[in-house]
Structures are given as structure tokens and as C-alpha cells.
Amino acid sequence: MDCVFCKIVNGEIPSKKIYEDDLVYAFHDINPVTPVHFLVIPKKHISGANEIDESNSHIVAHVFEVIAKLAKEFDIDKSGYRIVNNCGEDGGQTVHHMHFHVLGKKKLNWP
Ligand code: 5GP
Ligand code: ZN
């Protein structure tokens, strides 16, 4: 499949890896918008949040466990951070392999 994040998971495209296990892969965003900006993605191709169902929601739960662990490693657990999932056109999703941005070390406005 011609998916940039599948290629990152299988090593065809290099990335600055932070963490990986059987279910998820985490790496630094190539174009960081905050001093800490990494992505946590399922290894399995799931195109977006619309595709979450009872067969794969355990992976999403695991993504959030990993984020909590990595937030401590990056020393943003106490200062805070934002987890972002962009879905579809209006959400601004550009890569159609579900991913969760973790944005930290910058005070963010809303929205
Ligand atoms: P989206 O707009 O779909 O929510 O976010 C896609 C994110 O993936 C963007 O922040 C973009 O910088 C990042 N990205 C796109 N291609 C690559 C890549 O090849 N390597 C890395 N590390 N990040 C990428
Ligand atoms: Zn993919």
C-alpha cells in the first residue's frame, strides 16, 4: 500500500523513532509545530478515527497508555500537552494512516 506511515513502520522511509512495540510506533514529526512534537501510530494500517471499531479499539487504548509513558520521558507530564487526532478534510488530516500528535513545551491556544 502506498502509505507513508506504513513505510515508516516497515523502515522503507527513515524516521526518528522514539518507541515501538507489537501494536504501536512513535516517532518525531518531520515538521514540528511545538518544541516537543511526536506522533504515535498503530502499526496496522487504520485510515482514520472513522475506522475505529470493536476489533481495533484496544490499539487506540494502547496508544493512550504509550502516550502517558512517553509524556513522562519527555518531561511534559506535569507541564501538560495536547493530544491531537485530525480526521478527514475538515479536521485537516493529510496522512490517511491514523495518528495521534503529542504537542508539548508550548502553551497552546484553543482551538
Ligand atoms: P495530519 O495533518 O495528517 O494530522 O498530520 C500529518 C503529520 O505527519 C504532519 O504533522 C507532518 O509533518 C507529518 N509527516 C508527514 N510525512 C512525514 C514523514 O515522512 N516523516 C515524519 N516524521 N513526519 C511526517
Ligand atoms: Zn498506513
The answer to whether the beta carbons of residues 35 and 50 sit under 8 Å apart is no
Listed residue (19, 100, 4) closest to 52, CA to CA: 100
Which residue's alpha carbon is at the smallest distance from atom 21 of ligand 1? 30
Domain count for the chain: 1
Q: For the chain, how far is it from start to end, CA to CA, in angstroms? A: 33
pLDDT in the model for residue 66: 98
Domain span at 54: 4-104
Q: What is the pLDDT confidence band of residue 1, given thresholds at 50, 70 and 90?
A: confident
Q: What residue type is 98 in one-letter code?
A: M
Q: What residue type is 8 in one-letter code?
A: I
Does the beta carbon of 55 sit less than 6 angstroms from any atom of ligand 1? no
pLDDT at 96 over 90: yes
Q: Is 99 a catalytic residue?
A: yes
| Section 75-99 average pLDDT | 98
CATH of the domain at 80: 3.30.428.10
The answer as to whether 88 is a domain residue is: yes
Ligand 1 pocket test, pick from 9, 29, 83 with the greatest ligand atom count within 8 Å of Cβ, gives 29
Q: Is pTM, for the whole model, over 0.95?
A: yes
Rounded CA separation 85/108 (Å): 16
pLDDT in the model for residue 111: 85
How many residues belong to the chain? 111
The answer as to whether 30 is a domain residue is: yes
The answer as to whether 111 is a domain residue is: no
Per-residue model confidence as pLDDT tens digits over 39-52: 999 999 999 999 99
Does the beta carbon of 15 sit less than 6 angstroms from any atom of ligand 1? yes
